[in-house]
Structure 1
Amino acid sequence: MKTIIVPIDFSNYSEYALNVAAILAKKHNAEILAIHMLELATVHAYGTETQADHMEKALFYTKLAEKKFNEFLQRDYLEGVSVTPIIRHFKVFSELGEVASDNQADLIVMGSRGASGMKEFFVGSNTEKVVRNSEIPVLVIKDKPVHWDLKKVVFAIDFSDDYTPSFLNATKLLDSIATEVQLLYVNLPGDGFKNTDEMEAGVENFLQQAEGNLNRLKDVHYISDKSAEKGILKYAHKVNADMIAIATHGRTGLARFFEGSISEDLTNKADFPILTFRLE
């Protein structure tokens, strides 16, 4: 890991993300690209403002953002970390991909409130739009990293063939940042339900094709539930996980993965960092 992108909107949540990014940067000797998106209102072609007025206003707000941005980056935890501040126009999700590609970034770390549950945490927010469009992994942080130590990560996967490239990329990253990676298969009711023999055979076949061995078989765990999100959260709480990792189908978003409602109890406890990988 060499380059980490952190979107900054001056909120506490973006500071939580910046703090986590600094921890990862120190561990991997990586640099941070801190990006603030300055969205200026577009002046209509026949509005009252002249082009000169618009340019003057744009320059004013850019300079104001630069001052605030520089103050925001004065954090003790950034000492010894290479941080490059970048100010761009428009919305976060529309330009992060370009910045990530130009700089060959390895990871995006961003903050999100996620106050109304796992599904609402992703759907309809800038966070969900970044996850949906990002070609690189996105780590979503919800709380201040008081003791950031990834000892146990739960990676939810259905072990289907189209997961293979993403599985290899994901496990490579997860192995580098976590002490233990547990692979989780959620068995759901309906046409996709499998008995024990079918699940185990499918997992063995997947691991053999993906890695050429069954070394990770001991790290595979199974849970049955009525929905994927309930099963993942239930298992993550059961093993006291530090983070949840999942794969997304890109532009179709995560809504298809996180369907149905979650009980109030699980919603209140859904405070895990979430790391998403795009299926390739």
Structure 2
Amino acid sequence: MKTILIPVDFSKESEKALSVGAIIANRIAAKLVLTHMTDLNNNQEREGATDVISKKSSYSKLVAKRFDDFLQKDFLTGVLVEPLMQHHIDFNSISSLAEDISADLIIMGSKGKKELAEGVTGSNTEKVVRSSKVPVLVVKGNELNFSSDRILFVSDFNEESIDAYKRVCGIAEMLQSKMNFLYINLPGEAFKSTTKMDEVLFHFFSKAEHPDPVGAIKQVNRIADYSIKEGIYNFSNLTATDIIAIPTHGSNDISNTFHESISEDVANHSIIPVLTLRI
């Protein structure tokens, strides 16, 4: 049985992530592991052992009650759900937890960033996107109905993205989704002629061991835009994309133009669910 990990804080964003998880779990016969983090351990040094144990016990009962209330959803009927409480708050540890439980996917609800907050501090979602080796699906707490019929894989088709390409193809097969591919041609030094783009794509699909690299090239949509983000939004709106899949380096030390925090930026601002795959 496949496993989907969902960090929850009992907000409407968490509820949206839970509903998306239920849809996917029903489709692929997966179980949902819900994790809630607390900061009780931060106060241990200031309190006696008895007080700490008592507080943890009381809070555990409170969280168990909140879980019970949170899981009273009709859409969870028939879905296997395992609650898990962690006595620390560290969103970077979500990646380790996902690996420990052999999770196939992490789903996170996100509010996104307000314009004034940008550049000041990273969101919890960004922390997970950067650190997780497991694919992360970021969904917003909006009224948009979730569907996985069409997945758009956006890439510069650099050789280092081959593993992400293979993994998203596997996810698309698992979800019975149709795959679309997008290359965004930027002005300036990043601009490529049609011939150069063909060379890049042929090299990529050949290295990826695609059975028909020439045929695969024809499946890649190419558009010109002023930025990667604008290109993604414009194309996804035109093609009724359900999920935007995009590779991420998982760090800030990035020299490649395409991967300069694009995945985190898109995940924060797109109303369409975003699937990030670390490379």
TM-score of Structure 1 vs Structure 2, range by shorter chain? 0.7 to 0.9
Aligned to 2:195: 197
CA distance in 1 between partners of 2:252 and 2:93 (Å): 19
Q: Find out whether 1:94 has 2:78 as its counterpart.
A: no
Over aligned residues, Cα RMSD in angstroms? 2.6
Q: Say whether 1:143 aligns with 2:141.
A: yes
Cα distance in 2 between the residues matched to 1:151 and 1:10: 28
Aligned-pair CA distance for 1:115: 5.1
* 1:144 to 1:26, Cα distance in 2 relative to 1, 3 A: farther
- 52, 64, 75: which one pairs with 1:54? 52
What is the CA-CA distance between 1:145 and the residue it aligns to?
6.4
2:104 corresponding residue in structure 1 = 106
What displacement does 1:225 show? 1.7
Q: State which of 254, 257, 260 in structure 2 corresponds to 1:256.
A: 260
Residues 228-239 of structure 1 mapped to structure 2, 5 A cutoff: 228-239=228-239
Matches for 1:123-202 after TM superposition, within 5 Å: 124-144=122-142, 147-202=145-200
Q: Which residue of 2 aligns with 1:276?
A: 276
For residues 63 and 140 of structure 1, the distance between their equivalents in structure 2, rounded to whole angstroms, comes to: 29
Give the conservation status (yes or no) of the 8 Å contact 2:252–2:261. Answer: no
Closer/same/farther in 2, CA of residues 42 and 91 from structure 1, 3 Å limit:
closer
The separation in 2 between residues aligned to 1:61 and 1:143, in whole angstroms, is 27
| Cα displacement string for residues 65-104 of structure 1 (whole angstroms, at most 9, x for unaligned residues) | 1111121112111111111111112125133222211211
Whole-Å separation in 1 of the counterparts to 2:239 and 2:131: 31
Instruction: Give me the whole-angstrom Cα distance separating, in 2, the residues matched to 1:199 and 1:96.
Output: 37
- Find the aligned partners of 2:90 and 2:179 in 1 and give their Cα distance: 31
The answer as to whether partners of 2:198 and 2:217 remain within 8 angstroms in 1 is no
AA aligned to 2:27 is K
* SS at 2:208 equivalent: helix
Please list every run of 5 or more consecutive structure 1 residues that lacks an aligned counterpart in the other structure.
none
| Residue 227 (structure 1) aligned with residue 227 (structure 2) | yes
Report Cα offsets for 1:213-272 as digits up to 9, x if no partner.
Answer: 22433320111222111111111112121121101001338982339x99xxxx98x311
TM-score by length of 2: 0.87
Separation (CA, whole Å) in 2 of partners of 1:177 and 1:253: 33
Unpaired runs of 5+ residues, structure 2, are: none
In the TM superposition, residue 191 of structure 1 has moved relative to its aligned partner by 2.4
Paired residues of 1:175 and 1:181 also in contact (CA < 8 A): no
